[in-house]
Amino acid sequence: MSKKRKILENGRLFGKVSLVDLFVVVLVIGLALMVYFRFTAGQDSVNVSNGDDKITFEMKITPVRHYSADMLHVGDKVYVAKGECIGQITDIRTEQATDLYSTLDGRIVRMPIEDKLCVYLTVEGTGRYMNDAYFLTDTLELRIYDFIYVYTKEVNTSGTVVSISVEEGEK
């Protein structure tokens, strides 16, 4: 009983340190370590550019009507929803749009969609590479297979990023 009295006399460890105070100190140290490792650990191994990289990406837009495809032009500026310009169209490629259909005998076949095109837009802009992602603006993270909404002077559309290439600027 005297040993227990020493440890928990009035809720204090050895009569001096409160168990609640000890728990709070351990919790604060644990949170501080979590924050430290979350924001600083591994920073030496992360590739970060200064924002001067030339980033070229290709996006696939499908299905598109012929007149919408005709309104896309090489040299048009490309914007995202916040009105930020992410680059300029450098190439446009079209092909017949297709989709998967099931046949009466149970097969799945790819067939053309009548009067629709698949448009591949190549867009070139500047941005930075950080943490295995490309950033064309402060908020637009670009990865392969991302679905993004873009617009030009004449067309609002959305598509899937199918490729990304980078020419590194100065570090």
What integer pLDDT is reported at residue 128 of this predicted model?
85
**Comparing C-alpha atoms, which of 21, 37, 63, 52 is closest to residue 128?**
52
DSSP letter string, 84-145: -EEEEEEEEEEEEEEEEEE-TTS-EEEEEEEEEEEEEEEEEEEEEEETTEEESSSS-EE-TT
52 contacts 167 by C-beta, under 8 angstroms: no
What integer pLDDT is reported at residue 48 of this predicted model?
47
What integer pLDDT is reported at residue 41 of this predicted model?
57
d(CA 157, CA 71): 12
What integer pLDDT is reported at residue 129 of this predicted model?
80
Q: Is the peptide bond before 112 cis (omega within 30 degrees of 0)?
A: no
Would you write out the chain's pLDDT as a tens digit for each of its 171 residues?
A: 555 555 555 556 555 667 777 788 899 999 998 888 777 755 444 444 455 788 999 999 989 999 999 999 999 999 987 788 889 999 999 999 999 999 999 999 999 989 999 999 999 988 888 777 788 877 788 888 989 999 999 999 999 999 998 887 654
Model-level pTM greater than 0.85?
no
d(CA 157, CA 16): 68
148 contacts 161 by C-beta, under 8 angstroms: yes
145 contacts 161 by C-beta, under 8 angstroms: yes
What integer pLDDT is reported at residue 46 of this predicted model?
43
Residue 35 region by backbone torsions, left for phi larger than 0, else alpha for psi between -120 and 50, else beta = alpha
Q: How many CB atoms lie within 10 A of CB 168?
A: 14
